[in-house]
Amino acid sequence: MTAARTVLAFQHDANLHTLQTSVISVSTFNSLEESKRQLFKDADEKHHVIVTEQTIFHPQGGGQPSDTGTLKGSSGNFAVTAVRMDGTGQVLHLGLFDDGPSISPGETIEQAIDVEKRLLYSRLHTAGHVLGSAVRHLLEKEIENFDELKASHFPDSAACEFQGSIEGKWKDPIQKKLDEFLAAKMPVQIEWWDEDDFRSRGLERLVPDRSLVPAGEKSRVVNIVGAEVYPCGGTHVETTDLCGPVAVKRISRKTGNSRVSYIVT
């Protein structure tokens, strides 16, 4: 029997800071199969993993760190320290019980995320996309074979990587274009597209790999209105100005690719 995928409530409403949901399973970390244990680097025999029907916890992935917070049961609390998604689409909440296991399968619990941390991660993630779109607008026709490759939106290592060599002289123009996009208060809209939606907009290059989209479902995209569209499962602020000040730190180059690092303040 195939495990039921966790409903990703945060993908439909990133402003949900608490959620009532039911518990699917509670496992000791050591009882998990090896493939699931490998998803967590710093766990040990003291940790448990809880799977719920729905979740507002963003699992680490797509360049965004996982949320942390609490699962509140009728008899005790569970501190969530890390969240990952397994190969079946189930979201695994790793953490520690306050005073021994006190949450059971079938129980209704309340999820509560660390709101301050979520806001920081959302600002960083949106800022990364705004930076990427600023670089594309400036350099897509200036650099041969230009393309956006990947990004990290972690607080201590936020950066966007690009195909092609971006010279240091572009740092100030990138900052200027970035500031322009932030000040414009562009709406950041969550939309759901099928392949025809991408193609009708001339965005064939963004069509996600079919294996990454469950059969019969559309792809989640972040539409920064007036800038760019990105297939993305992460959390975001509602308008670009809410990223706050964003500074381009440096541009580095290696083996024909470039990395533009940034910070939010």
pLDDT digits (tens, 9 = 90+) for 64-79: 999 999 999 999 999 9
Tokens 């990004």 belong to 151
pLDDT band at 2 (very low <50, low <70, confident <90, very high): low
From start to end of the chain, where are the E strands? Answer: 7-8, 18-28, 48-52, 54-55, 69-72, 77-85, 91-97, 108-113, 147-152, 159-163, 188-193, 219-224, 229-231, 246-254, 257-264
Pair (90, 168) in one structural domain: no
Rounded Cα–Cα distance for residues 82 and 93 (Å) = 6
Residues 23-36, mean pLDDT to the nearest whole number: 97
Rounded Cα–Cα distance for residues 230 and 92 (Å) = 26
Pair (247, 124) in one structural domain: yes
Pair (134, 88) in one structural domain: no
Pair (128, 253) in one structural domain: yes
- What is residue 200's predicted lDDT score, i.e. its pLDDT? 94
Residues 45-71, mean pLDDT to the nearest whole number: 97
- And the tokens for 111? 């999820």
Pair (246, 138) in one structural domain: yes
2 part of a folded domain = no
- Which CATH number is 59's domain given? 2.40.30.130
Which of 92, 113, 134 corresponds to the end of one domain? 113
- What does residue 125 show for φ and ψ, rounded to 5 degrees? -70, -50
Pair (129, 251) in one structural domain: yes
pLDDT band at 218 (very low <50, low <70, confident <90, very high): very high
- And the tokens for 67? 């949320």
Pair (193, 243) in one structural domain: yes
Share of the chain above pLDDT 70, in %: 98
**Can you give the residue range of the structural domain that contains 233?**
118-264
Nearest to 78 by CA among 47, 36, 55: 47
- What is residue 46's predicted lDDT score, i.e. its pLDDT? 96
64 part of a folded domain = yes
Rounded Cα–Cα distance for residues 187 and 196 (Å) = 23
- And the tokens for 120? 């920081």
pLDDT band at 216 (very low <50, low <70, confident <90, very high): confident
- And the tokens for 248? 């381009």
pLDDT band at 128 (very low <50, low <70, confident <90, very high): very high
Domain count, the chain: 2
pTM: 0.94
Pair (73, 201) in one structural domain: no
Pair (44, 105) in one structural domain: yes
Mean pLDDT of the chain: 95
209 part of a folded domain = yes
- Which CATH number is 183's domain given? 3.30.980.10
Pair (149, 77) in one structural domain: no
- What is residue 1's predicted lDDT score, i.e. its pLDDT? 47
Rounded Cα–Cα distance for residues 203 and 229 (Å) = 9
Q: Are strands 159-163 and 257-264 parallel, antiparallel or unpaired?
A: antiparallel
Pair (128, 54) in one structural domain: no
Q: Does residue 239 have a pLDDT over 90?
A: yes
Pair (139, 251) in one structural domain: yes
Rounded Cα–Cα distance for residues 236 and 208 (Å) = 20
pLDDT digits (tens, 9 = 90+) for 162-199: 999 999 999 999 999 999 999 999 999 999 999 999 99
